Amino acid sequence: MTREVDAKDLRVVIIGAGMAGILSAIKLEEAGIGNFSIYEKADRLGGTWRENTYPGIACDVPSHLYSYSFAPNPDWSHQYSPGAEIQAYFERVAKQFGVDERIEFGQEINRCAFIDGRWHITTSAGIKDEADFIIAATGVLHHPSYPEIAGLEDFAGALFHSARWDHDVPLDGGRVGVIGNGSTGVQITAALAKRASKLSLFQRTPQWVMPQENPAYTEDEKQAFRAHPESLRALHEDISNLFAAGFANAVVDADSELMKGIEDQCLANLEENVSDPDLRERLRPDYRAACKRLVISPDFYEAIQKPTATLVTEEIERIEPGGVRTRDGHLHELDVLVLATGFKADRFVRPMEVIGRTGKRLDEAWADRPSAYLSISVPDLPNFFMLNGPNGPVGNFSLIEVAELQFGYIQQLIDQVRSGECRSLSASARATEDFDAARVEAAKKTIWTTGCRSWYLDDRGVPATWPWTFDRFREEMAEPDLAAYDFFD
């Protein structure tokens, strides 16, 4: 016979106070599960938006979509708002919903062990806690990737990764080098070409660039949003549907007309907006658009054509105290060197030690590469659920929308415990293997496998992302297939 569990007898630990951790707290409270804590290793909430503060930072998902569905914001300044505004939005929402008071700052969880039906948690500061559930909201692009370039430590000027920006370093009138031309490097270049006396962008591989204008909202528009909150909800829905039916569908079908249209727009941008034929050829990629994460910028080409800017395509030989030496022997003298070299996208909850019900460590389970059923649950890690976990839909949707859908799914798993069906549950090994095999097969049709290097690809060259449509993701998240789960008492 099943016996219902009172919600107040369930304790949840949320790891991380970024976008997904804040969301989890709000949704748990709403579901009557008020006994939870959020552990955050930093001293401030915000995750990605706390860590990435580089000049020019903005989100390339429209702001009215990159907002919680339950907390629309009539005051977004732009269609694609700057990072600081997004950070302020998360701080405001966390305050509004009383989440900020529930965060244990400066507490990095370094160990979670499932013992006798509960999770035992230890933080680096020595705090111990126990919980029935863990929600890992630890982010995706979180661990900076530092390039292996000889002499990096010899540089005499200021050197930092784009996600560790040193705001004490003066930029105006200085000689700035940027290694990397992904979404980050391109935004930094566009912002700094007008400030530095000399801006050198070190490009290893050219990027396709989608020219997306970024108009500011007028005061009248914002006033109309404030007066009619329902119009904001409709706008959220409309943009979501446009995204799902457009770009998100195109990338999972490399042969689609939609994909061709995106390529045509990028090509026209290059042909029409870069006037010097030599520069144009050096900026022209030899792989398909959106094979790498598509770079969106209204002003990158304009910036790289400024007299202050230089596109360096010679291979970097080494870093020297005075700057970057390229293979042609030229020393690019610099005061500041920015590493816009991306992130280790395969870390997820690691380096945290996670020990499941059989005593097996997550690091062993993920020895080859990370995997999880529907990117949420790992076999034998009962009641341990991830938001934006391995192989999930990253890069082409609003990660807020993704996390909201995933949380709705996780909530239904928690309900299994609440209703007394089991004490804990995790995806079965079989379901996880089948899911993994299906996604690897489906990935063959996607644009990401058409021949380029990118952070989407795992060590085998398989895209570690959702290879189906967004509609399919929505359907999968609507209701768990409980046959895919092992139930434990």
Least distance (Å) between residue 145 CB and ligand N01: 7
Q: Least distance to ligand N01 from the beta carbon of 31, Å?
A: 31
Smallest separation, CB 293 to ligand N01 (Å): 3
Tell me whether residue 341 or residue 432 sits nearer to ligand N01 (CB atom): 341
For residues 467 and 227, give the distance between their C-alpha atoms in angstroms, rounded to a whole number. Answer: 40
End-to-end CA distance of the chain: 12
Token digits of residue 380: 């034998």
Q: Cβ closer to ligand N01: 38 or 250?
A: 250
Question: Is the separation of the CB atoms in 291 and 450 below 8 Å?
Answer: yes
Judged by CB, which is closer to ligand N01: 273, or 313?
Answer: 313
Cβ closer to ligand N01: 162 or 446? Answer: 162
- Which secondary-structure segment (H or E) carries 466? none
Q: Which is nearer to ligand N01, 173 or 461 (CB)?
A: 461
Footprint on this chain of ligand N01 (rule: CB under 6 A) = 58-60, 141, 147, 149, 162, 179-185, 187, 204-205, 293, 316, 340-343, 395, 453, 455
CB of residue 88 vs ligand N01: minimum separation in angstroms? 17
CB of 391 vs ligand N01, minimal distance in Å: 15
Could you tell me the two tokens for 469? 């449509």
Minimum CB distance to ligand N01 smaller for 60 or for 363: 60
Characterize the bridge pairing of strands 331-333 and 323-326: antiparallel
Q: What is the DSSP string of 369-408?
A: ----BTTTB-TT-TTEEESS-TT-S-SSS-HHHHHHHHHH
Residue 389 beta carbon to ligand N01: minimum distance, rounded to whole angstroms: 16
Closest CA to 132 of 12, 34, 234, 215: 12
Pick between residue 202 and residue 366 the one whose CB is nearest to ligand N01. 202
- Distance, in Å, from the CA atom of 212 to the CA atom of 210, rounded to the nearest integer, reads 6
Q: Measured between alpha carbons, how far is 64 from 239 in angstroms, rounded to an integer?
A: 8
Dist CA 271 CA 485 (whole Å): 52
353 contact partners, CB below 8 Å, separation of at least 6: 110, 111, 112, 113, 361, 362, 363
Task: Give the whole-angstrom CA distance, residue 309 versus residue 236.
Answer: 38
Shortest distance, CB of residue 253 to ligand N01, whole angstroms? 20
Closer residue to ligand N01 (CB): 59 or 171: 59
Nearest approach, Cβ of 458 to ligand N01 (angstroms)? 14
Identify which of residues 59 and 135 has a Cβ nearer to ligand N01 in the complex: 59
Q: Least CB distance from residue 165 to ligand N01, whole Å? A: 12
Cβ at position 481, least distance to ligand N01 in Å:
29
CB of 56 to ligand N01, least distance (A): 9
CB nearer to ligand N01: pick between 141 and 303? 141
Q: How is 153-202 classified by DSSP, letter by letter?
A: GG--SEEEEGGG--TTS--TTSEEEEE--SHHHHHHHHHHTTTSSEEEEE
Q: Which residues of 316-354 are buried (b: 16+ CB within 10 A; e: fewer)?
A: bbebbeebbbbeeeeebebbbbbbbbbbebbbbbeebeb
**DSSP at 8:** G
Tell me the torsion sign for CA atoms 249, 250, 252, 255: positive
Neighbours of 470 (CB within 10 A): 24
Q: Using CA atoms, how far apart are residues 159 and 161, in angstroms rounded to an integer?
A: 7
When the beta carbons of 179 and 405 are compared against ligand N01, the nearer one is 179
Pairing of strands 128-131, 133-136: unpaired
